[in-house]
Chains A and B, each alone.
Chain A
Amino acid sequence: DTGVSQNPRHKITKRGQNVTFRCDPISEHNRLYWYRQTLGQGPEFLTYFQNEAQLEKSRLLSDRFSAERPKGSFSTLEIQRTEQGDSAMYLCASRRGANTEAFFGQGTRLTVV
């Protein structure tokens, strides 16, 4: 068990480009979450998967954002036509059961220039 893994750790992109992040949860964790953390703020919920089903999306997740979790294993978060306001740390977390501890990855820091 190597913990929650996120790639890349850092991403710098030009405004208007598309980016994709990957999260590998702890094996056998069927619940997976994406959060966004901007400077000086706590993480904010973006979306939630139970196995391969995306069960909840925050209003923060605009049409330019899409997340997938094929086969209920790893997940990807794609941002299309990036904007400077998308610059943030994107965190992934997973948990095994309903009331169990959530484990976080180290995050992907996105900078849009």
Chain B
Amino acid sequence: AQTVTQSQPEMSVQEAETVTLSCTYDTSENNYYLFWYKQPPSRQMILVIRQEAYKQQNATENRFSVNFQKAAKSFSLKISDSQLGDTAMYFCAFMKHANSGGSNYKLTFGKGTLLTVNP
């Protein structure tokens, strides 16, 4: 079974600053996906960024980037130039790859980090 750990229940950052959210995971799989999801207050969860484990290059989406350390099983999210709209719960999630056999592509989530961007 996979586990995902987010050790920072809450974080805050000033608008326009950079913040990094931490995530570690445990798995015996070699091929998998990692995700960061954003859940704004009273709104649905949306995908921020995803990383395929077999790709060494860290994923980047505009102001969002990850630092994926496969050997350390670490997957942190960096948000640059933070905006007020970034205020939300952020969840790190794991999913077995389709080639892993028996995967129903369900997501295993961490407990989340509440990020507050202050003006």
Contact = CB atoms under 8 A, between A and B. Distances in A.
Q: State yes or no: do A and B come from one complex.
A: yes
A42 B33 contact: no
Interface residues of B, number: 26
Interface stretch (A13-21, A65-73, A102-110): A102-110
Interface string B81-119: 000000000010100011000011111111110000000
A104 B109 contact: no
What range describes how many residues of A lie at the interface? 20 to 34
Given A48-B104, A101-B47, A42 B111 contact: yes
A62 interface: no
Interface in B20-61: 33, 37, 42-47, 50
A93 to B, nearest CB: 8
B46 A42 contact: no
B107 A99 contact: no
Given A98-B98, A99-B97, A45 B44 contact: no
A40 B109 CA distance: 12
Contacts of A50: 104
Q: Which 9 A-B pairs have the closest CB atoms?
A: A42-B109, A98-B98, A104-B45, A106-B44, A45-B106, A48-B104, A104-B44, A56-B104, A43-B109
17 contacts: A31-B105, A33-B106, A40-B9, A41-B112, A42-B4, A42-B110, A45-B107, A48-B106, A56-B104, A56-B106, A93-B107, A95-B105, A102-B47, A102-B105, A104-B44, A104-B45, A104-B46
